[in-house]
Amino acid sequence: MNKWGKLSMGLLLAAGLLAGCGSNNNDNNTAASGNANTGTEAKTLIMGTSADFPPYEFHKMVDGKDTIVGFDIEIAKEIAADMGAKLEVKDLPFDSLLNELSSGRIDMVISGLSPTPERAEAVGLSEIYYKAEQAVVVREADKDKFATMDSLKGAKLGIQTGSIQEDIAKGIEGAQLTSLGKISEIVLQLQSNRVDASIMEGPVAKSFVKNVKGLVITDAKPEVEDDGYVIGVKKDNTELLEQVNTTLKRLDSEGKIDEFVAAASELAESN
Ligand code: ARG
């Protein structure tokens, strides 16, 4: 695939060298400290995500236990496995994720994150791992009323705080914005007539309209500049960024990302 063509062999080489260094370091540590546990203790890779976003990341009861699942989580597991690290998933408000990253409280953001110039300035962003379109969600009775982007002028829009959808909505003339922390809160506002419409990722919209009675996707097509998703790491953490890109490249070539999306969409359907 073209998007991966840009990744140089040098990157693969560097990743290989780093992997080599890691195990050497561990051996050294073990020898130096005389602590037998040091060498075998896996490091922990902390992922930050806003788990309100099926099929990307969402809560589900698995064997009677509240678990965060979704295709972003599957990708994170692969990155951790390739690093020989243990994955920890932190559920955080979407608009706090990049700050948490910059302050080092999490190692990476996988959260259906769209690349923007501002974000690329603030943190390190991976290659694009998946693409999807934007959708407009309304109450069933309003399906025809909001069939175009123009028809959203002056409408009441429910939007996730800090998302690119907030920027799209701000560009709609006369639109009144209600910014909320979670997509599920937006859905409630729609159901209770407090907002008229919401803009969200197509796969998320599909998942919600399947599970929530009375909501539908209209024919309106919000345009975004870069309709893909990326993984964020702390600015200048090139080591982790290279590892992330190497794993993404592997998953893409194995057809794993499409598999993860299909499996997560199925899981989300019965949520
Ligand atoms: N793709 C949009 C953005 O980057 C929304 C992502 C929201 N993600 C989430 N897990 N709630 O702004």
Q: What is the DSSP string of 119-172?
A: HHHHSEE----EE--EEEEEEGGGTTTT-SSGGGTT-EEEEETTSHHHHHHHTS
State the pTM of this model: 0.84
Which of 71, 126, 165 for mutating ligand 1's site (highest number of atoms within 8 Å of CB)?
A: 165
Query: Is the shortest distance between the CB of 113 and ligand 1 below 6 Å?
Result: yes
Give CA–CA dist 99/133, Å, rounded.
Answer: 26
pLDDT at 70 over 50: yes
Q: What percent of the chain has pLDDT over 90?
A: 82
**Ligand 1 pocket residue status of 111, Cβ below 6 Å:** yes
Q: How far is the CA of 229 from the centre of ligand 1 (A)?
A: 9
Two structure tokens written together for 66: 């509240």
State the Cα angle at 189 between 187 and 193, rounded to 5°: 120
Please, which pLDDT band fits residue 224 given cuts at 50, 70 and 90?
confident
> Is residue 4 pLDDT above 60, yes or no?
no
Nearest ligand 1 atom to alpha carbon 201 = 1
pLDDT at residue 42, rounded to an integer: 75
Q: What is the mean pLDDT of residues 119-132?
A: 97
Q: How far away, in angstroms, is 88 Cα from ligand 1 center?
A: 20
With H, G, I as helix, E, B as strand and everything else as coil, classify residue 256.
helix
- Give SS3 for 93: coil
For residue 49, report the distance from its CA to the centre of ligand 1, in Å.
9
**Peptide bond preceding 203 in cis form (omega within 30 of 0):** no
- The Å distance, Cα 111 to ligand 1 centre, comes to 6
Tell me what the mean pLDDT of segment 125-145 comes to: 97
What pLDDT sits at residue 226?
Answer: 76
Please check the confidence at residue 125 and state whether its pLDDT lies above 70: yes
Instruction: Read off the pLDDT of each residue in 162-189 and give the average, rounded to a whole number.
Output: 97
Whether 199 has a pLDDT exceeding 60, the answer reads yes
Q: Is pLDDT above 80 for 2?
A: no
251: its two tokens: 């998953």
- Which one-letter amino acid corresponds to residue 60? K
Among 38-47, 133-142, 188-197, 207-216, the minimum mean pLDDT is found in 38-47
d(CA 202, CA 178): 20
Contacts 24+ apart (CB under 8 A), 16-21: 18/239, 18/242, 18/243
Q: What is the mean pLDDT of residues 91-104?
A: 98
Which CATH class for the 9-130+227-269 domain? alpha beta
pLDDT tens, position by position, 99-109:
999 999 999 99
Residue 26 CA to ligand 1 centre (angstroms): 37
- Which pLDDT band, with edges at 50, 70 and 90, does 225 fall under? confident
Is 50's C-beta closer than 6 angstroms to any atom of ligand 1? Answer: yes
* Residue 227: band (very low, low, confident or very high) from pLDDT cuts 50, 70, 90: confident
9-130+227-269 and 134-217 agree in CATH topology:
yes
Give the mean pLDDT of the chain.
Answer: 88
Q: Which atom of ligand 1 is nearest to the CA of 57?
A: 10
Closest ligand 1 atom to the C-alpha of 116?
4
Provide the pLDDT for residue 15: 44
Q: How far apart, in Å, are the Cα atoms of 37 and each of 23, 33, 137? A: 14, 10, 53
Residue 52 CB–ligand 1 contact under 6 Å? yes
**Kind and range of the H or E run holding 23:** helix 9-33
Supply the DSSP symbol for 96: G
What is the position in ligand 1's atom list of the atom closest to the CA of 229?
Answer: 1
**Interval 10-69: pLDDT, tens:** 444 444 444 433 333 333 333 333 333 445 677 999 999 999 999 999 999 999 999 999
Q: Distance, CA 197 to ligand 1 centroid (Å)?
A: 17
CATH architecture for the domain at 134-217: 3-Layer(aba) Sandwich (3.40)
For 201, phi then psi, to 5°, come to -60, 140
- Give the number of other CB atoms < 10 A from CB of residue 152: 25
Question: Which residue ranges make up each domain of the chain?
Answer: 9-130+227-269, 134-217
Nearest CA to ligand 1 atom 12: 163
Per-residue pLDDT, averaged over 128-156, amounts to: 97
Q: What percent of the chain has pLDDT over 70?
A: 85
> Token pair for residue 191?
């159901």
Instruction: State in Å: Cα 171 to ligand 1 middle.
Output: 18
Confidence (pLDDT) at 37:
41
**Is the predicted pLDDT of residue 119 greater than 90, yes or no?**
yes
Distance CA 243, CA 40 (A): 21
**pLDDT given for residue 39 in this prediction:** 53
Residue in this structure with the two tokens 């590892």, named with its chain if needed:
243
Q: Quote the CA–CA distance of 114 and 123 in Å, as a whole number.
A: 13
164 lines ligand 1 (CB under 6 A): yes
Whole-number Å distance, alpha carbon 44 to ligand 1 midpoint, is 24
